Amino acid sequence: MDSKMPRLDKTKLTVSSIDDIMEEKRYWLSLNRADRLNAIELNRRLVYGTDRTTSRLQRLLETAELSPS
């Protein structure tokens, strides 16, 4: 994927019920692995941005030294 965000292709936009899970599953299974991974990467960029230094996860754990008992 290039660094520019893709434009929305409105000719390929479809509207369906949010409750139709099987239709969505059929769509994703119809794509090859590379297309599914590209979709995941696009969603990551939309949520976290394209700057890799600021889009990393924050540290969640800290280590602490325990005093001997």
Residue with tokens 């434009």: 7
Higher pLDDT, 7 or 56: 7
- Over residues 9-50, the pLDDT tens digits come to 778 777 878 888 898 899 899 999 999 999 998 888 888 777
pLDDT of residue 49: 75
Count Cβ atoms below 10 Å from residue 40 Cβ, excluding itself: 9
